[in-house]
Amino acid sequence: MSVNAVEAIGVERRFGNVQALAGVDLEVEKGEFFGLLGPNGAGKTTLISILAGLVRADRGSVRILGHDVGADYRAARRALGVVPQELVFDPFFSVRETLRIQSGYFGLRHNDAWIDELLHHLDLTGKADANMRSLSGGMKRRVLVGQALVHKPPVIVLDEPTAGVDVELRQSLWAFIRKLNRDGHTIILTTHYLEEAEALCGRIAMMKSGRIVALDSTQNLLSRFAGVTVRVSAARLPADWTARLLRREGTIHYLGLGDYAELERLLAAFRTEGIAIDELALAETDLEQVFLRIMAGTETTDDTRPVVTVPEAL
């Protein structure tokens, strides 16, 4: 039996009164490009911190490539590369020194061939001897990516890696991460850019209030919630339709519909109640709509078969 890249069983963690993780089970197979999504405070960073050994779980166990993050921390940490969310750096050193030092911490000396390759892929070759302080935010972010990859970890965790990185560099960064994934590295990604997750991740877990509320392949998630999203601008919604609201921005309402037949019933309701529609547009379901529908759903205890309040027609 092949060992999983990441295996979390019954992971719980509480900070004071906040139950940051309320029993998380998760398996990520080797070679996956896996997305971990959820609103702020859902527990994504806590989960990642437990994988990395920065935070300890109150209950449950976590293994990286079969190595327990507590009992066998050396092997677990060697297998893992983490790009932290915070933009941190050591102001005493240059980019190359930073990467050499990080490499040395993992017991790797004379790693310059790989460091040069990293610098090239991260478009930092010209900045190799520049002090960390002199770099822009986007460059510092790329050095963080380099530090996470310097020991060629088989499992790579990226916690919001593209925050503050401009669009062009984001593309080249993703091209590089994709290449690493093709070369066999397992990638675990958290991001606020849902279109990135949709484009990159083969499988996605959605977290809410310390639990995994949806876990499926990106395709299945999209098709499970296949339907129509209506963007309608009106003073208010017909009374029977307010439960279908996904999101509201002033007088603009986003509604999730099962199919086009429902659209006719919606329009009829507007007519019956005499509400004027200023503007109306349709959109295909994308990951953002799926995300919003799941996050609008009720609490669930089963992480593989989420109980989500969705229209009956779905």
Partner 1 sequence: MIEGPGTGWLTLLQKELLRFWKVSFQTIAAPVLTALLYLLIFSHVLESRVAVFDGRVAYTSFLIPGLVMMSVLQNAFANASSSLIQSKITGNLIFVLLPPLSPLDMYAAYVLGAMVRGLVVGTGVFLVTLLLVPGPLSIAHPLFALAFAVLGSAILGTLGVIAGISADKFDELAAFQNFLIMPLTFLSGVFYSIHSLPPFWQALSHFNPFFYMIDGFRYGFFGLSDVAPVLSLALVAAAAVILAALALLMLARGWKLRH
Residues of the shown chain interacting with partner 1 in the complex, contacts defined by CB under 8 A:
15, 49, 52-56, 73-75, 77-78, 80, 82, 84, 86, 88-93, 97, 101-111, 113-114, 147, 151
State the helix-helix crossing angle for 112-121 and 95-105, rounded to 10 degrees: 130
CB of 104 to partner 1, least distance (A): 3
Closer residue to partner 1 in complex, CB, 107/184: 107
Give which of 78, 80, 79, 118 is closest to 98, Cα–Cα: 118
**What is the CB-side half-sphere exposure of residue 209 using CA atoms within 13 A?**
11
Give residues with Cβ within 8 angstroms of 245, minimum separation 6: 237, 253, 254, 255
CB of 86 to partner 1, least distance (A): 5
CB of 19 to partner 1, least distance (A): 15
Distance CA 51, CA 56 (A): 9
Give which of 24, 17, 3 is closest to 301, Cα–Cα: 24
Closer residue to partner 1 in complex, CB, 15/260: 15
Closer residue to partner 1 in complex, CB, 92/260: 92
Strand 67-68 with 59-64, pairing: antiparallel
Closer residue to partner 1 in complex, CB, 73/260: 73
State the helix-helix crossing angle for 95-105 and 137-149, rounded to 10 degrees: 30
Q: What residue type is assigned to position 29 of the chain? A: E
Closer residue to partner 1 in complex, CB, 149/230: 149
CB of 76 to partner 1, least distance (A): 8
Q: Are 181 and 195 in contact (CB under 8 A)?
A: no
Query: What are the CA-CA distances from residue 176 to residues 171, 187, 203 (Å)?
Result: 9, 12, 19
Closer residue to partner 1 in complex, CB, 4/103: 103
Closer residue to partner 1 in complex, CB, 99/290: 99
CB of 158 to partner 1, least distance (A): 14
CB of 271 to partner 1, least distance (A): 57
Strand 33-37 with 203-208, pairing: parallel
> Is residue 37 classed as helix, strand or coil in its secondary structure?
strand
